Amino acid sequence: MKPLVAVALSGGIDSLTSAWLLKDQGYRVIGVHFITGYEEWAKSSFDQNRPSTDYLLKAADIKLAPIATRLDIPLRILDCTERFKNEVVDYFISTYRAGKTPSPCLVCNPAVKFGDLFRFARQLGAERLATGHYARIHREMTGRLSLYRGIDSGKDQSYFLARLSRRQLESSLFPLGEMTKSEVIALAHKKDLIPISDEESQDVCFIKGGSYDKFLARQSGFKPDPGLIVNTDGEVIGQHAGLHLFTIGQRRGINCPAREPYYVVRIEPDQNRLVVGQREDLFSRGCRVVEINWIASAPTTPIRVSVKIRYRHQAFPATVVPLASRTAQIRFDRPQAAVTPGQGAVFYQGDMVLGGGWIVAGGVSIQDRSSTGLAPPGI
């Protein structure tokens, strides 16, 4: 008999189909779900009117019960409201406060979904945690476990899993990794697997029906701080209403008249300045990446990779130059636009994920002719 596997049920078609596939393969399956407190049926901010834990647990159970019944599996709910706020939401707020652009899923997956939720699943007797991610896990000839892109290039989610540890990957299953989204939809229809939510998963799941700036403005201790807008020559050309309203490469909202549109080139939180320029000013030869989680062996000499500097970005050729075990300099084969501090940089060789870390410096502008492309501004 195959072991008990926990499936992270979100209510969508991907997790529902994953659970069905595992049952069809002979696994014993239990559904698990964690509540964040930011679901549509809960308050969107943590304040004195926040629903009680009992209410949240009951609401989640009622919401997901039809799926568990349809699959004929037990369902267990984990309260992660405090943990989610501390690990994910507070990170999101502090990153914006520091003038960077956060990547919440890269934090949530190792800490909450494959951390707290998996430990909860283990307490229930499950040996592994399965999710509806479009990614693959392979065991190499050496015995080492590797993470690969899902075969559906349009849905591949390996980027969001690049900070999982090898131990977490050992305990994970991705039943949809060898399938395309259209195949998943077709199978769900054939087996009458009806999701309770048609929404696709999103990088910032805790902001529903509103903008980031409105969400941030509601948070305790977060106060918009107006400041100066300067061009790349340091000339003052306008004022901004708060650096949290901007990210590298942004064009909208600058509101400074010019013959050509301005783009956000750099955010300087220490001086509360927004630096803007022309599109060509966005391009960088490289960047530095820190706190790298190496799924493959950490390199000791430069290696050739393809790198994604955000999820919706085509991976491009680059060289990784290790500076320490978890820090590296990235040299792009061709200058890249909008290299954004705070975002995740994920390294690939073919379809295999080598690892990923955090971009801490936007690199060197191609306008800086004195640079070698190796030494971006300091962290």
Summarised one tens digit per residue, pLDDT across range 98-136 is 999 999 999 999 999 999 999 999 999 999 999 999 999
The active-site residue out of 80, 105, 108, 287 is 108
Summarised one tens digit per residue, pLDDT across range 334-354 is 999 999 999 999 999 999 999
Task: Give residue 61's pLDDT.
Answer: 85
Task: Give residue 43's pLDDT.
Answer: 53
Summarised one tens digit per residue, pLDDT across range 208-221 is 766 888 889 888 87
Structure tokens belonging to residue 71: 């699959």
Q: Which residue has better confidence, 158 or 42?
A: 158
Summarised one tens digit per residue, pLDDT across range 266-299 is 999 999 999 999 999 999 999 999 999 999 999 9
Query: Does the pLDDT at position 62 exceed 70?
Result: yes
What domains are there in the chain, each with its CATH number? 4-190 (3.40.50.620), 224-277 (2.30.30.280), 283-361 (2.40.30.10)
Task: Give residue 377's pLDDT.
Answer: 30
Summarised one tens digit per residue, pLDDT across range 302-325 is 999 999 999 988 999 999 999 988
User: How distant, in Å, are the alpha carbons of 18, 40, 81, 175, 266 from that of 77?
Assistant: 18, 17, 12, 22, 43
With a pLDDT cut of 70, the percent of the chain lying above it is 90
Helix/strand/coil percentages in the chain, nearest 5:
25, 30, 45
- Residue 108 annotated as catalytic: yes
Closest-CA residue to 213 (of 251, 243, 191): 243
The active-site residue out of 80, 205, 256, 287 is 205
Structure tokens belonging to residue 352: 């295999």
User: How far apart (Å, rounded) are the C-alpha atoms in residues 188 and 8?
Assistant: 17
- Residue 287 annotated as catalytic: no
- Does this model's pTM top 0.95? no
Find tokens 């549109």 and name the residue.
Answer: 261
Compute the C-alpha angle 371/373/375, nearest 5°: 80
Query: Does the pLDDT at position 200 exceed 90?
Result: no
Report the chain's mean pLDDT, rounded to a whole number.
89
**Contacts of 356 by beta carbon, 8 Å cutoff, 6+ apart:** 106, 159, 162, 163, 292, 293, 344, 345, 346, 347
